[in-house]
């Protein structure tokens, strides 16, 4: 029986909570995985805690109906995130506060507090892993707890675990990926002859792009992801602030057409490779031959090709965003905790 | 330190042995995985055993130079496979005898003997798993040992472990796969306007197809694989002998052209799905829309799309055959044994 707290309770946090609630019996019967949610701490929605467990169904209902959870009749209310993480009876921290790739906060403090207090952490928050992986991994190993961040790259589509676990024993020689759905959607639609600005507006209407689309179209989001892949899967020491980054804002309809004429397709590609004993990374638009598996990854789908020494090129394709798929990523990490500890 | 024996020492067995030998230090330093090869038993090449371990480099050299290993100065020679499996000091059995999907033998006896004697088994032999998975899994669970068969499907490209471990917690609603490289190569080349017979001859010259190509072109090979996926990943109870099977021998150039004209591509697709509380399976050529990730898997590559309930469709693409990739599949299973036991 694992005691779990949610730090952050936005779309991804509630996505995970819904999956776990709906699959409670399935997880118990199939994997012997049982859990109790003791607390939820969200800056806007409120902070509730009970060491005997919350009624997750009630919490989800309250959240759905009122957009906040503070009215839940919990034993303790108003605990700060760090206080909740430190509670001695808590085993696993679900960290789903917003990504900040400049400071990593507040996620970084949550990661450190969890690991230093010997709690497993599962998270979709890219900031801490993109900025401080080595430090965090060291604390996790020292305290014999799990640092789970499958959901930071390709959300629930296996990426980190695929490379480190299924491809264990291989040397990953290079990585190439379509790591951002919004930009891949825009490039896909431009191939149909539509202008960048036009497609961007549509993507915003569909909820694929934010009102301020900078993080996607200027490639800050996939930058963090390729840095995470470079530093975790390839054990590099890449500094996010020094990685060459180019978004898709300068891509014209002409560029897209010209590539197509040459049997190629423009994709925003995150790349990591070994050079002179070091791991290097970059993110920029590239022309990919149509025969390459990545060239045929269309719309909001994401994909990664891992070049390995003994089992060739392995490509994984799947959704890269969404409440359920991102939430699910943390469930797969929890099941690994259950197998391993 | 794991004590390992090889039952079978053909291309796949020697492929694994070479990888393990070349990576000996890497496996020790990175994963803490250390091993000792105590024995090799091959019907044609000979049977050698030493409870203190063989010199793997010498064994490989002998095999390369003489095509047999019987001249190795081993302590015990001529042990039968079953005798070697039962040796008390042996921990892991590498089973790489040829697949037989009618009786499963001699693999089935090797699997049973290993598991009943509390030895882990890792194998690329499809027969026993395709025919007797439930029985074998039960013996493995009862004796708390690992039944590793990643290499039976998509060889070293993660398939079984991807679905059961990375996608744990998901319900796999259906599976579609290109599970045979030879037929995919033939179909790819036919799209260039070449006749079936012509391409088949070329594939035989290149070593992609056997002199008797029946297992591939009549779809017996991918049949075994879709049955393995249906019964392991989807926990079905599919009887291999009752699964509808159709190969590619009736596909004409006309068919290929017509599909292409309609924005589709003919692929030999293994499929498993749920219907009325049961898992069903089939293997036959299908017209796949070009927008589907499987449609763009060309040449000898293999691929599988897993349809999941919470994380959408996940597609994996990679090599489906080859001495190193098939050999590697068993290494990844051994590393899982090392993590888990």
pLDDT tens-digit map of A213-225 = 999 999 999 999 9
| Domain at B215, CATH number | 3.30.360.10
**B161 in any annotated domain:** no
Using CB atoms, which residue from A27, A296, A329 is nearest to B293?
Answer: A296
| Res B296: pLDDT | 93
- Is the CB of A166 less than 8 angstroms away from the CB of B165? yes
Chain A hits for B322, CB-CB cut-off 8 Å, are: 312
On whether residue B164 sits in a domain, the answer given is no
- How far is residue B200's CA from residue A262's CA, in Å, rounded to a whole number? 30
Contacts B158 to A, Cβ<8 Å? 162, 166-167, 314
Question: Where is pLDDT greater, at A105 or A291?
Answer: A105
- Longest CA–CA span in chain B (Å) reads 65
Q: Is the dihedral of CA A220, A225, A230, A236 positive or negative?
A: positive
Domain identity same for B292 and B332? no
CB contact under 8 A, B156 and A317: no
pLDDT value at residue B141: 97
Please report whether residue B146 resides in a domain: yes
Average pLDDT over residues A116-142: 98
Cβ distance of A339 and B340 shorter than 8 Å? yes
Assign residue B30 the CATH number of its domain: 3.40.50.720
Chain A interface, best mutation among B150, B311, B335, by max A CB count within 10 A: B311
Size of interface A-B (CB pairs under 8 A): 135
Instruction: List chain B residues with pLDDT less than 50.
Output: none
Please return the burial class of B239, using the count of CB atoms within 10 Å of its CB with bins 0-12, 13-18 and 19+. exposed
Catalytic residue chosen out of the listed positions B45, B126, B225, B267: B225
* Of residues A27, A257, A220, A251, the one with CA closest to residue A126: A220
Chain A residues whose CB is inside 8 A of the B297 CB are: 293
* A179 shares a domain with A78: no
> Which residue among A169, A318, A336 places its CB closest to the CB of B314?
A318
Contact B316 A312 (CB under 8 A): no
Contact B310 A335 (CB under 8 A): no
Same domain, A43 and A92: yes
Chain A residues with CB under 8 Å of B325 CB are 310-312
Nearest to B177 by CA among B283, B299, B289: B283
C-alpha distance from B62 to closest chain A C-alpha (Å) = 23
Predicted TM-score (pTM) above 0.95: yes
Rounded Cα distance between B126 and A322, Å, is 37
Q: Which residue of A has its CA nearest to B336?
A: A165
Claim to verify: residue A114 and residue A132 sit in the same structural domain: yes
Whether A317 sits inside 8 A of B322 (CB atoms) is: no
Both B209 and B245 in a single domain?
yes
Q: Are residues A57 and A79 in the same domain?
A: yes
**How many residues are there in chain B?**
341
B161 to chain A: which residues are within 8 Å by CB? 165-166
Q: Does A211 share its domain with A73?
A: no
Q: Are residues A181 and A248 in the same domain?
A: yes
Please give, one letter per residue, the 3-state secondary structure of chain B.
Answer: CEEEEEECCCHHHHHHHHHHHHCHHHHHHHHCCCEEEEEEEECCCEEEECCCCCCHHHHHHHHHHHCCCCCCCCCEECCCHHHHHHCCCCCEEEECCCCCCCCCCCHHHHHHHHHHCCCEEEECCHHHHHHHHHHHHHHHHHCCCCEECHHHCCCCCCCHHHHHHHCCCCCEEEEEEECCHHHHHHHHHHCCCCCHHHHHHHHHHCCCCCCCCHHHHCCHHHHHHHHHHHHHCCCCCCCHHHCCECCCCCCCHHHHHHHHHCCEEEEEEEEEEEECCEEEEEEEEEEEECCCHHHHCCCCEEEEEEEECCCCEEEEEEECCCHHHHHHHHHHHHHHHHHHC
**How distant is the Cα of A137 from the closest Cα of chain B, in angstroms?**
15
Segment A63-85, tens digit of pLDDT: 999 999 999 999 999 999 999 99
Is residue A235 predicted with pLDDT exceeding 90? yes
Contact criterion met (CB < 8 Å) for B157 and A310: no
Q: How many other C-beta atoms are found inside a 10 Å radius of the C-beta of residue B198?
A: 12
Q: Could A310 and B19 be called an inter-chain contact, meaning their C-beta atoms sit closer than 8 Å?
A: yes
Which residues of chain A neighbour B311 with C-beta distances below 8 Å? 155-157, 318-319, 324-325, 328-329
Identify the pLDDT of residue A291: 87
Per residue, what are the HEC states of chain A?
CEEEEEECCCHHHHHHHHHHHHCHHHHHHHHCCCEEEEEEEECCCEEEECCCCCCHHHHHHHHHHHCCCCCCCCCEECCCHHHHHHCCCCCEEEECCCCCCCCCCCHHHHHHHHHHCCCEEEECCHHHHHHHHHHHHHHHHHCCCCEECHHHCCCCCCCHHHHHHHCCCCCEEEEEEECCHHHHHHHHHHCCCCCHHHHHHHHHHCCCCCCCCHHHHCCHHHHHHHHHHHHHCCCCCCCHHHCCECCCCCCCHHHHHHHHHCCEEEEEEEEEEEECCEEEEEEEEEEEECCCHHHHCCCCEEEEEEEECCCCEEEEEEECCCHHHHHHHHHHHHHHHHHHC
Q: Considering the domain boundaries, does residue B163 fall inside one?
A: no
Do A22 and A114 reside in the same domain of the chain? yes
Whether residues B275 and B334 fall in one domain: no
Nearest CA distance, B155 vs chain A (angstrom)? 9
Judging contacts by C-beta atoms under 8 Å, the chain B residues touching residue A291 are: 298
B199 lies in some domain: yes
Nearest Cα of chain A lies from the Cα of B89 at a distance, in angstroms, of 25
Average pLDDT, chain A: 97
Q: Residue B340: closest CA among chain A residues belongs to which residue?
A: A340
What is the predicted pLDDT for the residue at B314? 98
Is B166's CB within 8 Å of A332's CB?
A: yes
Predicted pLDDT of residue B291: 87
Residues B85 and B206 in one domain: no
B31 and A291 within 8 Å at the Cβ level: the answer is no
Q: A307 to chain B: nearest residue by CA?
A: B318
Question: Residue B162 domain-assigned?
Answer: no
* Residues A25 and A85 reside in one and the same domain: yes
Q: How many structural domains compose chain B? A: 2
- Do the strands B278-289 and B264-275 form a parallel or antiparallel pair, or are they unpaired? antiparallel
d(CA A258, CA A260): 5
Which chain A positions have a beta carbon within 8 Å of B315's beta carbon?
Answer: 316-318
Q: How far is B234 from chain A (nearest CA, A)?
A: 12
Chain A contact probe: residue of B19, B33, B169 with most A CBs at under 10 A: B169
Report the catalytic residues of A: 225
Q: Could A317 and B312 be called an inter-chain contact, meaning their C-beta atoms sit closer than 8 Å? A: no
**Mutate: best of B310, B323, B327, B330, partner A, most A CBs <10 A:** B310
Non-local (6+) Cβ contacts of A59 within 8 A are A17, A37, A40, A48, A69, A72
Asked if residue B20 belongs to a domain, the reply is yes
- What residue numbers bound the domain in which A330 lies? 2-156+323-340
Residue B177, min C-alpha distance to chain A (Å): 14
Question: Nearest C-alpha of chain A: how many angstroms from B107?
Answer: 24
Contact B170 A317 (CB under 8 A): no
Given an 8 Å threshold on Cβ–Cβ distance, is A317 in contact with B293? yes
Tell me the backbone φ, ψ of residue B92, rounded to 5 degrees: -130, 130
**Contact indicator for A316, A175 with CB cutoff of 8 Å:** no
Distance, CA of A37 to CA of A25 (rounded, Å): 15
Kindly state whether residue B117 falls inside one of the protein's structural domains. Answer: yes
Distance CA A78, CA A283 (A): 41
Please measure the distance between the N-terminal and C-terminal CA atoms of chain A and give it in whole angstroms: 12
Question: Residue B27: its chain A contacts at CB < 8 A?
Answer: 169
d(CA A136, CA A147): 8
Q: What is the pLDDT of residues A182-201, one digit of tens each?
A: 999 999 999 999 999 999 99
């Amino acid at each position: 029986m694992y005691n779990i707290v949610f730090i952050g309770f936005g779309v991804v946090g509630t996505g995970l909570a819904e999956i776990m609630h709906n699959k409670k019996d399935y997880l118990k019967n199939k994997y012997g995985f049982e859990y109790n949610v003791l607390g939820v701490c969200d800056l806007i929605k409120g902070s509730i805690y009970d060491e005997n467990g919350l009624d997750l169904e009630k919490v989800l209902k309250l959240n759905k109906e009122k957009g906040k959870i503070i009215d839940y009749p919990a034993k303790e209310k108003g605990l700060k995130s760090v206080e909740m993480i430190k509670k001695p009876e808590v085993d696993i921290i679900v960290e789903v506060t917003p990504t900040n790739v400049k400071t990593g906060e507040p996620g970084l403090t949550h990661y450190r507090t969890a690991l230093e207090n010997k709690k497993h952490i599962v998270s979709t928050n890219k900031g801490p892993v993109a900025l401080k992986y080595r430090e965090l991994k060291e604390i996790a190993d020292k305290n014999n707890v799990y640092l789970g961040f499958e959901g930071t790259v390709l959300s629930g589509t296996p990426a980190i675990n695929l490379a480190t676990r299924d491809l264990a024993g291989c040397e990953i020689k290079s990585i190439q990926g379509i790591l951002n759905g919004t930009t891949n959607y825009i490039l896909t639609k431009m191939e149909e002859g539509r202008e960048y600005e036009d497609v961007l507006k549509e993507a915003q209407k569909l909820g694929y792009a934010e009102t301020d689309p900078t993080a996607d179209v200027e490639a800050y989001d996939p930058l963090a992801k390729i840095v995470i892949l470079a530093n975790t899967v390839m054990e590099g020491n890449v500094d996010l602030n020094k990685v060459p980054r180019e978004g898709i804002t300068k891509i014209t309809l002409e560029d897209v057409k010209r590539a197509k004429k040459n049997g190629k397709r423009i994709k925003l590609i995150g790349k990591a490779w070994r050079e002179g004993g070091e791991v290097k990374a970059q993110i920029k638009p590239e022309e990919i031959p149509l025969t390459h598996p990545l060239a045929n990854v269309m719309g909001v789908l994401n994909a990664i090709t891992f070049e390995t020494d003994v089992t060739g090129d392995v490509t994984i394709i799947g959704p890269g965003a969404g409440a359920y798929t991102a939430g699910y990523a943390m469930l797969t990490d929890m099941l690994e905790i259950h197998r391993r500890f």
